[in-house]
Structure formats: structure tokens, C-alpha cells
Amino acid sequence: MHILNFLQSAREKAGQGTEPAVHVEYRLVCSGTLFPDNLMGDWSMSDVARILLRHPIELLVASRPYDTYPQELALRFAVPSVTEREGQSAFVYTPDHEIASDVAALLTLLCRRLITVGGKVRAQCNDPNVPPLLADYPVPIVTTTKISYWTPRQSPSYRPHPQAFNASDIDHILLTLPQLKVASAVIRAARLYALAMDLIESQWEICYQLFISAVETMAGAALKVWEPDTEEKIASRDRLISYATKTEKLSKEVAERLAVETCKENPWSRKKFTKFLLDNVNREAIASQDDLFIVPEFFCPKEGDIKKALGDVYRQRSGGTHGGSSYPITAGIGPSEYFSPKVFGVIDTQQCPFPPIGWFERVVNSAIYGFLRAQRHGTVPPQS
């Protein structure tokens, strides 16, 4: 992954940039408004507030006025060429687009606002062997720019709130990311999460699957060596134990040893999925009113029901993946100002509704970000 090599190089060289490199500038499109969290006064009228991040990338607000929707961001960084070999062939290129895409995905995860790549607007080479006229290389813009952002919401109470950009936190996470054993999993999870956020307005069932995949990616790496205790393993094989003791007339002790033995090849994916979320989610944050997706309180699982709700989510994931099953009607609540009147039928049944995607996205974001923050502060090892 070129993004990890780029961040590792930025950490080691601290921006010295002595080798030949291409200095590029991309335009990012933000479905919301980002502003520095450490600035006093009216940030919408300050040019200093346009500087969101200085290192390991430069990130600035380009919109005029500042809070134009969607917000346009300028992303600047320098990257050297790389050589990739396939058999006898060698391919030399500059992986700036992949890096820009991964930066946008990471920022989507860390800021909880959809941030996409609009296009490259400039490329400058500091190689003395390049002719001066081509050192500032002409980049096609008109035919390559791609604008992707959420549809503006009509109701003022439903629009995403301006989001404070914690430069110190994000800078540290980006620079320490290459040091984590789970670094590649974080990038893969961020890509899945960002794709889900890009499609969430129109393809929320697919997005539910993508959010679940993002969690599984993180849980599989962060809890790679974790497994439940012996009692839990035995409990998971209760039917086998019952058959062994009643039909085969084995002793309970032998049956339990047999049950534990059959667990050796079990990846414990469902338990890892639930454990990762419960261990890392900020319970207080997800219980407060959301500033991005609005989900009526009735449809949000209560504190004591969260574990069961996550179990329901994972079981539905299996039906959707292997059988193409549709999600319950309440799962689509959150991304839009409107939802089907059929959800009121769920209220009448007095049953605990299936978790809305607006709630589940918040849990996923809180857990992954919480895990990364814990790595920063050293409260959990890189691999639990």
C-alpha cells in the first residue's frame, strides 16, 4: 500500500524532501464543513482557518465563501516515483492518485463526513533532469474532474453540523499508522467505510454490508489471536455435548473435551465482530444526539440491548451475503430526511426494531476511531 510507505517516509524524513519527487495538488470534495478546532473567533471569515493540516500532508479549505456546500479542499503532497515489477517487466510511475484516494478515505473515517477526490489540478517535478517548461506539468482538469457529494438536505435541522477538524489528533494518527501491525487492515477498512458513505443515500442495503465488512476487517486483524475462554467454547457446542452424552453415552468430561477440540479451527468471526465494537465504541457518544444522521430515539437500541442488536446485524449480514435477503424496513433510517411509512407498523408492534443504518454507521465509526485513538495513547497493544 503506497499510502503506508508515504506516511512512513513522511515520519522518517520530517518533510526534508531531498530526493526527486512530484509535488501534486488535488481537489477534495467534502459533504459538510470542516474548520480548525483550535481557532477562536469566526472561522468562516479567517484565512488562517483555511489551514487544516500542515503535515504529513497539506490540507486547506479552497471554497469561497468558506462554508460553501459542498466544501472544496486543496490537498498537497510530494511523492517520488516507484518501480513495480511483474515477471520480466518493470513499471515506473507516481502513485499520487492512490495516495490521494486513501487520504480521502481516511479523512472520511476520521472526520465522519464524506470526502471524495475531485481531481488533480497541478503536478510539479523537482527533478533537475526534467525540462523547466515541463517541470510544472499541464494537468487535464475539464475532462477528468469527478464531483461526488451528498445531496443538500432541505430541512435546516437535518443538515450536517460544521465539523471541528482536530489537526493534532489526525496528524498523530496518520504518522503513527505505519507503525501498527494492523496498519493495512485500517486502510482496507477505511476504503470500505468511505465507499459505504459515498453510496449511503441510494444503496443503503449494500452500505450496511460494507460497514459490516469494515468491522470484520478491523476485528480480524486487531483480535487475530483472540479466542473465547473454555466455558464459552463449551457453551457454543451444547448440541454436540448433548448428542455425545445422551446418544453415544460418553461422559460429560469427555464430551466437553471433544467440544473444545472441535473449536480449534473456528475463526470466531461473529464473536470478534461483536467484541471489537463493544470494546472500542464510545457508549456516551452514540447515546447523544447525532449531528450527521437523524434517527428517532425509538429506533436506536438502548444500552442494555446493544449486544443483542449487534448480533441481529451480524445474522442479517449472513442472510444478505449468502441468500440475498433484504434488510428490515427500519434498517434504511438515517441517510434521508424521509423514510417509508411502513416503519410506523414496527412502532405498533412494540418490538425492538432492527438497528437503522444511521445508528450502526455511528457505532462503526466510533469503534474504529476509538481503536485508533487507543493505539495513539498506548491503552491497548497493536494486536489485542
Q: 93-102, 250-259, 361-370 — which is least confidently predicted? A: 250-259
Please tell me the distance from the alpha carbon of residue 60 to that of residue 103, in angstroms, as a whole number: 14
Amino acid making up residue 326: S
User: Does residue 382 carry a pLDDT above 50?
Assistant: no
User: Does residue 232 carry a pLDDT above 80?
Assistant: yes
Whether 44 contacts 88, CB under 8 Å: no
Q: Is 291 helix (H, G, I), strand (E, B) or coil?
A: coil
Most confident range, picked from 14-18, 144-148, 257-261, 368-372:
368-372
The H or E element containing residue 28 is strand 22-30
Whether 25 contacts 121, CB under 8 Å: yes
Can you give the pLDDT at residue 208?
96
Q: What 3 state SS string does 4-24 have?
A: HHHHHHHHHHCCCCCCCCEEE
Helix%, strand%, coil% for the chain, nearest 5: 50, 15, 35
Q: What is the DSSP letter of 289?
A: P
User: Does residue 70 carry a pLDDT above 90?
Assistant: yes
Can you give the pLDDT at residue 378?
59
The H or E element containing residue 61 is strand 58-61
The torsion region of residue 336 among left (phi > 0), alpha (psi -120 to 50) and beta comes to: beta
User: Is it true that the peptide bond before 160 is cis, omega within 30 degrees of 0?
Assistant: no
Whether 320 contacts 208, CB under 8 Å: yes
Q: 68-77, 264-273, 282-291, 335-344 — which is least confidently predicted? A: 335-344
Mean pLDDT of the chain: 89
Question: How many residues are given for the chain?
Answer: 384
State if pTM tops 0.75.
Answer: yes
Can you give the pLDDT at residue 2?
93
Please tell me the distance from the alpha carbon of residue 354 to that of residue 333, in angstroms, as a whole number: 10
Residue 229 binned pLDDT confidence (cut-offs 50, 70, 90): confident
- Of residues 353 and 275, the one with the higher pLDDT is 275
Can you give the pLDDT at residue 344?
73
- Of residues 155 and 170, the one with the higher pLDDT is 170
Q: Is 114 helix (H, G, I), strand (E, B) or coil?
A: coil
User: Does residue 320 carry a pLDDT above 60?
Assistant: yes
Position of cell 501534486? 24
Can you give the pLDDT at residue 194?
98
Amino acid making up residue 50: R
Residue-wise pLDDT tens digits, 164-181: 999 999 999 999 999 999
Residue-wise pLDDT tens digits, 278-313: 999 999 989 898 999 989 888 899 988 999 999 999
Please tell me the distance from the alpha carbon of residue 289 to that of residue 276, in angstroms, as a whole number: 23
Taking the alpha carbons of 102, 106, 109, 112 in that order, is the dihedral positive or negative?
negative
Can you give the pLDDT at residue 381?
43
Whether 75 contacts 51, CB under 8 Å: no
Whether 25 contacts 60, CB under 8 Å: no
